[in-house]
């Protein structure tokens, strides 16, 4: 495995692909792209893309593929936006915000449904929802965790602000959630794996208060995002990538423990932690009409919060969501 820190501040590892420079015997290259680069995070939702490269699934589809690992999906999305990767994955807002700012990216399908990838980490001072009053909460604005915070506050009658009964929100980046809680700078964070699983192993008395799907609050749906110029100008390569991802999902579902071992080793995560993280995820790939409907709901909320500076969020989503790849190359996986 080689190292490369040139793409973004938080690139951690460059993975795989060196042995796959030549497509598998008997399989010609799909499309014109020399190498398809995946920008991924280092937690369970991204396990299939390690398998896609390291188990030769991409090569069987005529692709020379490489994954580049970031501390979260945000880094992978930035790599696609800046033209340094072809494929990334993330929640509704992680792609919509750059798209609204002019980034040429397309949502092409849903690769993950997760009940437990995002949640709430708390100190021992928080035992119930009303204990959040007057507390400091860390998060990254404009993410699925921010949306979860909104839903949680609405459910429990909490308000954001600086008053004694309000929840005070502080901007804290993902790698700092656990250290900030350990130092006492924050009392809780709304975030995601692997920091949720790590929290109680590092901070005495801290725990995962709840996952996003608890009490039916929010089930996370990821979107697979392609760089627009690549998807439109080299659709054969993009289509082969779509099919390869579908096969990687099937491989993970048929080989869960091997996939967990592979991901744990690649992401440098304890195996038992990776097994726990993966258990909360449903790995799939489809491009269904219900997906942009869901994205539009989140987009409307984001506009109301000033996170999206667009006139028409429905049009934003319609222009962004691109079912043509699935329609042309994997019609069995779409209802468009």
57-68: average pLDDT: 98
Q: Which residue has the tokens 């009940």?
A: 115
Name the strand (E) or helix (H) holding 90: strand 87-90
Residue 207 CA: distances (Å) to CA of 62, 120, 167: 45, 9, 19
- Candidate CATH numbers 1.10.1060.10, 3.90.700.10, 3.30.2350.10, 3.40.190.10; the one for domain 118-216: 3.40.190.10
Separation between Cα atoms, residue 297 and residue 281, nearest integer Å? 22
Q: Which residue has the tokens 């280092």?
A: 42
> 11-113+220-333 with 118-216: one CATH topology?
yes
pLDDT score at 89 = 97
**Alpha helices in the chain, H assignment, sequence order:** 47-54, 57-60, 73-81, 92-100, 144-156, 177-183, 195-202, 228-233, 235-254, 256-267, 271-279, 290-304, 313-320, 324-329
pLDDT digits (tens, 9 = 90+) for 175-229: 999 999 999 999 999 999 999 999 999 999 999 999 999 989 999 999 999 999 9
pLDDT band of residue 30 (cuts 50, 70, 90) is confident
75-88: average pLDDT: 97
CATH topology of domain 11-113+220-333: D-Maltodextrin-Binding Protein; domain 2 (3.40.190)
| Model confidence, pTM | 0.87
pLDDT digits (tens, 9 = 90+) for 304-316: 999 999 999 999 9
Domain extent listing, the chain: 11-113+220-333, 118-216
> Strands 136-139, 168-171: parallel, antiparallel or unpaired by DSSP?
parallel
pLDDT digits (tens, 9 = 90+) for 231-280: 999 999 999 999 999 999 999 999 999 999 999 999 999 999 999 999 99
Does residue 4 have a pLDDT over 90?
A: no
């Amino acid at each position: 495995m080689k190292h490369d820190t040139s793409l973004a501040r938080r690139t951690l590892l460059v993975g795989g692909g060196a042995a796959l420079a030549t497509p598998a015997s008997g399989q010609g290259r799909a499309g014109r792209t020399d190498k398809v680069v995946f920008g991924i995070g280092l937690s369970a939702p991204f396990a299939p893309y390690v398998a896609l490269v390291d188990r030769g699934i991409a090569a069987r589809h005529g692709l020379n593929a490489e994954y580049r690992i970031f501390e979260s999906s945000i880094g992978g999305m930035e790599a696609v936006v800046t033209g340094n990767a072809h494929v990334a994955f993330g929640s509704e807002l992680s792609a919509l915000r750059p798209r609204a700012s002019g980034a040429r990216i397309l949502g092409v399908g849903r690769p993950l449904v997760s009940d437990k990838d995002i949640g709430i980490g708390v100190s021992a001072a928080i035992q119930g929802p009303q204990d959040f009053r007057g507390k400091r909460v860390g998060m990254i604005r404009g993410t699925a965790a921010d949306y979860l915070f909104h839903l949680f506050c609405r459910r429990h009658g909490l308000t954001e602000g600086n008053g004694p009964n309000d929840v005070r929100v502080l901007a804290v980046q993902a790698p700092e959630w656990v250290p900030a809680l350990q130092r006492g700078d924050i009392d809780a964070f709304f975030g995601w794996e692997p920091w949720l699983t790590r929290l109680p192993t590092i901070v005495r008395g801290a725990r995962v208060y709840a996952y996003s799907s608890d009490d039916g609050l929010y089930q996370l749906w990821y979107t697979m995002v392609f760089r627009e110029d690549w998807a439109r100008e080299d659709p054969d390569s993009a289509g082969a990538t779509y099919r390869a991802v579908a096969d990687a999902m099937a491989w993970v579902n048929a080989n869960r423990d091997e996939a967990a071992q592979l991901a744990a080793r690649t992401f440098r995560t304890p195996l038992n932690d990776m097994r726990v993280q993966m258990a909360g995820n449903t790995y799939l790939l489809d491009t269904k009409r219900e997906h942009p409907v869901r994205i539009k709901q989140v987009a409307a909320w984001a506009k109301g919060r000033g996170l999206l500076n667009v006139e028409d969020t429905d049009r934003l989503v319609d222009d962004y969501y691109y079912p043509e790849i699935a329609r042309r190359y994997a019609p069995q996986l779409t209802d468009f």
